[in-house]
């Protein structure tokens, strides 16, 4: 896609040996300003910035946009550009050549005939909802390029006088194409059994030979247990963890008073901007401080890096949210293979397959609600305290995360069955009473 740079007035220089298989994402870090703490740029296979998609990301990003959302948009665009780069018998196709036929082939590439739990997932494991989100972003990118004058006749509504390569539907408030798929009722989120989480975590440890990385990954999962989002886990700072002396003082005070108080930790919020306070168990705070002081230096992080969890790769910088997702995906795949080898049934395998990073947040919120209510606290206070701790401001959003954890869910279902049985018995008793009354009345009136 070298022409897209030269046509925009960017000096391409002498072609160099490709260092990537295709376009990829790099991130620039900023300390202050609209793009802080980082902003992605898209580079071609030679490592040179691609003007059009990078400028689109810059324009689309708003001051209150989550950096995680911008990273997601960048990955979607890179995926689209990567497919084009390797299409046409590896000769590559320019994004300026995108048309309805190409988008239709792209949809088949994502949405095939595979099914999971009765829902179409496609060759790339993509649901209809995810495909619609990706297609919308691609259409927005093409429309932006058309608006900026980087392409002519590329995208729009065919009004009979002006033909376009990508024809949008008429009378739609947003960019919409005929290839958008209908989305049914979303599947209910069910929290897997705790055993499924444990299997995935154990599988992540089994592939690591370095004890320091094993300790790092164990702490990552324990921090996930506090209901943090991926971006918040990746950006947990060493400076936010109290010093060893402060934690020792807390421990001694707990032994004297018999009251074990949690440790308030400042977390950089992933949604919007600002900082919120999350209560960590004292033992978890101690483990984090031990890791920072003793184990983390052995991973040789960059001297300017303040994140707790850093990469052991060449860059030695903080882990990216996608790295955390990749870690869980790797452990999940290994755990599924191990479960099959041990003779686990399909239900157990499905439990493991449903484990992902965000479900830790669902589990924490649910357990916090249930534990608080079972402890005798006022339900309203439990709800408000939980919402404050996890950074949720909307009751509607909170309802999405409110489930019954698996062990309690099964118990509740059993209780429900008993309740239903009692209700059925009560109905039968009332029917019998009604029949007896009717018989009594019939006999009485027949005598009279």
Q: Other CB atoms closer than 10 Å to residue 193's CB: what's the count?
A: 20
pLDDT confidence of residue 242: 95
What CA–CA distance (Å, rounded) separates 160 from 379?
61
Task: Give which of 74, 77, 203 is closest to 135, Cα–Cα.
Answer: 77
**Phi, psi for residue 167 in degrees, rounded to 5:** -95, 120
Nearest to 354 by CA among 170, 234, 128, 187: 187
The model's pTM? 0.68
Q: How far is CA 31 from each of CA 34, 37, 38, 57, 121, rounded to the nearest angstrom?
A: 10, 6, 8, 19, 40
List the structure tokens of 307: 């994140």
pLDDT on residue 386:
87
Kindly report, residue by residue over 305-347, the tens digit of the pLDDT: 899 999 877 667 888 888 899 899 999 999 999 999 999 888 8
Q: Are 109 and 83 in contact (CB under 8 A)?
A: yes
Is residue 84 within 8 A of residue 95, CB to CB? The reply is yes
Which parts of the chain register pLDDT below 70? Answer: 1-21, 88-90, 114-122, 185-188, 269-273, 314-315, 403-428, 438-448
pLDDT digits (tens, 9 = 90+) for 352-395: 988 988 889 988 888 888 888 878 888 888 888 888 888 888 88
pLDDT of 15 reads 46
Phi, psi dihedral angles at 158 (to 5 degrees)? -75, 105
Q: Angle 282-290/211-224 helices, nearest 10 degrees?
A: 150
Residue 89 confidence (pLDDT): 65
Read out DSSP for 154-203?
SEE---SSS--SEEPPTT-SS---TTPPP--PPPPP-PPPHHHHHHHHHH
83 within 8 A of 1, measured Cβ to Cβ: no
Query: Residue 5's pLDDT is what?
Result: 32
């Amino acid at each position: 896609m070298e022409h897209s740079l030269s046509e925009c007035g960017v000096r391409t220089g002498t072609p160099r040996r490709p260092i990537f298989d295709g376009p990829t994402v790099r991130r620039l870090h900023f300390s202050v300003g609209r793009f802080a703490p980082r902003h992605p740029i898209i580079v071609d296979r030679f490592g040179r910035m691609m003007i059009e998609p990078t400028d689109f990301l810059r324009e689309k990003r708003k001051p209150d946009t989550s950096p995680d959302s911008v990273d997601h948009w960048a990955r979607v665009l890179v995926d689209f550009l990567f497919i084009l780069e390797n299409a046409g018998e590896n000769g590559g196709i320019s994004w300026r050549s995108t048309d309805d036929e190409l988008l239709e082939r792209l949809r088949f590439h994502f949405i095939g005939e595979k099914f999971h739990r009765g829902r179409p997932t496609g060759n790339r494991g993509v649901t209809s909802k995810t495909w619609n989100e990706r297609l919308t972003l691609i259409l927005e990118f093409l429309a932006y390029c058309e608006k900026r004058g980087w392409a002519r006749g590329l995208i729009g509504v065919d009004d009979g006088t002006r033909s376009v390569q990508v024809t949008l539907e008429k009378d739609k408030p947003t960019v919409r194409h005929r290839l958008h798929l209908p989305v049914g009722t979303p599947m209910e989120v069910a929290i897997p059994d705790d055993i499924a989480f444990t299997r995935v975590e154990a599988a992540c440890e089994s592939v690591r030979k370095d004890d320091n990385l094993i300790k790092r990954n164990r702490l990552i999962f324990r921090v996930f247990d506090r209901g943090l989002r991926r971006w918040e886990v990746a950006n947990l700072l060493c400076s936010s963890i109290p010093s060893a002396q402060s934690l020792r003082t807390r421990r001694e005070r707990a032994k004297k008073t018999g009251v074990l108080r949690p440790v308030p930790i400042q977390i950089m919020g992933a949604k919007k901007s600002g900082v919120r306070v999350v209560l960590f168990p004292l033992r978890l705070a101690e483990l984090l401080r031990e890791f920072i002081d003793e184990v983390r230096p052995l991973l040789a992080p960059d001297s300017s890096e303040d994140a707790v969890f850093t990469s052991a790769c060449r860059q030695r910088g903080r882990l990216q949210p996608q790295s955390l997702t990749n870690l869980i995906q790797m452990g999940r795949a290994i755990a599924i293979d191990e479960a099959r080898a041990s003779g686990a049934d399909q239900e157990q395998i499905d439990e493991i397959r449903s484990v992902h990073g965000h479900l830790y947040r669902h589990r924490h919120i649910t357990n916090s609600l249930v534990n608080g209510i079972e402890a005798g606290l006022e339900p309203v206070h439990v709800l408000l305290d939980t919402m404050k701790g996890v950074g949720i401001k909307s009751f509607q959003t909170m309802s999405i995360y409110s489930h019954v954890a698996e062990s309690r869910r099964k118990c509740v279902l059993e209780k429900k069955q008993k309740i239903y049985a009692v209700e059925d018995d009560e109905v039968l008793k009332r029917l019998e009473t009604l029949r007896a009354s009717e018989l009594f009345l019939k006999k009485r009136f027949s005598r009279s």
